[in-house]
Chain A
Amino acid sequence: MKKLLLFLFVACSFFIRARAQDDLLGDLVKDDAAKVKQNFTIATFKSTRIINLESIEMTGKGNLEFMISHRFGSIWKEGKGWTNVSQLFGLNAGAANTYMSFDYSFTDYLNLGFAATGNAKYETWAKIRLLRQQTGLKNIPVSLTWFSLTNFDGSDGPSPNDFAWNRFSFLHQILIARKISDKFSLQLTPSFIHYNIVPYGYNNTNNIFSLAIGGRYKLTNKTAISFEYARQLNGYKDLLDESASAVNYVPDLFSLGYDWDTGGHIFQFFFTSSSSATNIGQLSANTNDIRLGNFSLGFNLNRSYGIKRVVKSH
């Protein structure tokens, strides 16, 4: 009996010693590792746009993003010869579409934006985060964002006496993205476009569908290659325009870009087969056929500002 007691005593004192020498940091690390966390996937794309189209990225909570974007004239116009060179491959052609936008996020999941898209058109939109790609507490393989945009055509236009309501068009998209690896992300974007009014014509339609795929591949921490392909699914062939003349749109939209993150700004340089600055124009009324060499240079430049102070002054 006494032996047993002695043994117990020794064993216990060993236990105490062992506890006392335990590594404090090791305990903290273990505690931290034991906590089940939500690991949100960040930086699926560099910017809030892949190239032309919206990406699932949103400007951060309490952040205001200003973006300015240009699409220049065609790089090479057939039959124009040296004029193309003197126009600096579209850069100095005097035909650039400018797009300026402001994005503000009130919360982590809601972003509102406003843009002037050139040709007296204005846009406003809401972007709502439905799902975030994450591991840990929950396992969600993709990010899902809902994007809805309203476009108002304020131009003189062919029918200046139109009711205001006839000047509206709408775009709705579901953005489905996955960051497949550290470097590679893909996004699928089905779109639905609705024009409140379209010119009269047998093939003309108010409702247009399109499907886009976009992605980016990071070259370094600061640079990436991006691409986009969108295919218009209906309403592009044998249409009539306002003056009742026949028109065909090009259903394919190709873009190839280079993203450069300078630490404060994000520059996106790209080639794209559209000269329109608005998504609605790019996805439903594209006139540039890449097979005829109709593509142009463009860039997006954005800068975001922390409006709401997260870090309190010390």
Chain B
Amino acid sequence: MKKMKLLFTVLLIVMTSAINAQTYKTRDAQIFFNPNKDQSHKDYAAESKEGTAVLKVETNDVALLVPMKTFHFNNALLEEHFNENYLHTDKFPNATFKGKLIGFSKDQLTKDGVYTLSSEGQVTLHGVTKNFKAPVKLEVKGKTATFNCSFKIKAEEYSIDIPAIVKPKLSDETPIEANIKFQLN
């Protein structure tokens, strides 16, 4: 009977550690995009600070979800257009990414420094899923690990229609910056 108890305890420990130990989660991932041709302008730029992200250390799996309605613009009218006319956020409420970090190992999280990685996977936006690959910068400092990823997307690849009257003001490719900070412990 004692043996059994011990076995159960061991099992319990193994189970909980397997579930919890190596997964990091955040609820305030920041996504910023600025489609202006002239990047010093912020007219059409928007930012969300409410993305959720999860990182599984031993498999290098990452996932990111951004509720589209959490993107806010300077001009409320543009925000309405963004939701109603361009991204149809009632129909497609989330933008997601799932994939892997390449060049990442869990030792990096234990030592302060800046590491250059890349990520590969699939982005789903406006109901369209595309393969995705971009460089990622990881900065570890004490108990925080910040992943920075800058990349560009083309609106038409995600079947987002931009009206002809606005098009001249926008660049063909929209630069996007993701800033995802995990608390390590």
A residues adjacent to B (C-beta < 8 A): 1, 5, 8-9, 12, 15-16, 19-20, 23-25, 27-29, 31-32, 42-43, 59-63, 182, 221-222, 261-264, 266, 304-306, 308-314
Contact = CB atoms under 8 A, between A and B. Distances in A.
Nearest to A1: B4
A306 B32 contact: no
Given A306-B76, A309-B74, A311-B47, A25 B19 contact: no
Secondary structure type dominating chain B contacts:
mixed
A63 B98 CA distance: 36
A7 to B, nearest CB: 12
B102 interface: no
Nearest to A58: B76
Contact of A263 (B7, B46, B62, B163): B163
A27 B56 CA distance: 12
A32 B84 contact: no
Contacts of A312: 47
21 contacts: A8-B11, A9-B11, A16-B15, A16-B19, A19-B19, A24-B61, A25-B63, A25-B97, A28-B52, A42-B80, A42-B83, A60-B76, A261-B81, A262-B165, A263-B81, A263-B163, A306-B73, A310-B74, A311-B45, A312-B47, A314-B45
A12 B11 contact: yes
Contacts of B65: 25, 28-29, 32
Given A263-B81, A310-B72, 4 more contacts: A16-B19, A24-B62, A28-B52, A31-B52
A61 B165 contact: no
Nearest to A312: B47
Contacts of A305: 75
Contacts of A61: 76
B37 interface: no
B65 to A, nearest CB: 4
Contact of B77 (A5, A24, A63): A63
Counting from the closest, the 10 A-B pairs by CB-CB distance are: A60-B76, A306-B74, A306-B75, A25-B63, A24-B63, A25-B98, A221-B85, A28-B65, A263-B166, A16-B18
Nearest to B88: A221
A103 to B, nearest CB: 12
B42 interface: yes
Contact of B76 (A19, A24, A31, A59): A59
A150 B53 CA distance: 51
A255 B86 CA distance: 30
Given A5-B7, A15-B15, A29-B65, A42 B74 contact: no
B75 A60 contact: yes
A264 B56 CA distance: 43
A80 B143 CA distance: 84
A119 B63 CA distance: 62
A60 B43 CA distance: 15
A24 B98 contact: yes
Given A5-B7, A19-B18, A311-B32, A28 B63 contact: yes
Interface in B37-77: 42-43, 45-47, 52-54, 56, 59, 61-65, 67, 72-77
Nearest to B51: A28
Nearest to A60: B76
Contacts of B53: 28
B77 A304 contact: yes
A28 B77 contact: no
B173 interface: no
Contact of B165 (A15, A221, A263): A263
A23 B23 CA distance: 12
Contacts of A19: 18-19
A28 B54 contact: yes
Contacts of B90: 182
A60 B77 CA distance: 7
A12 B8 CA distance: 10
A25 B74 CA distance: 30
A27 B72 contact: no
Nearest to B89: A42
Contacts of B120: none
Nearest to B167: A263
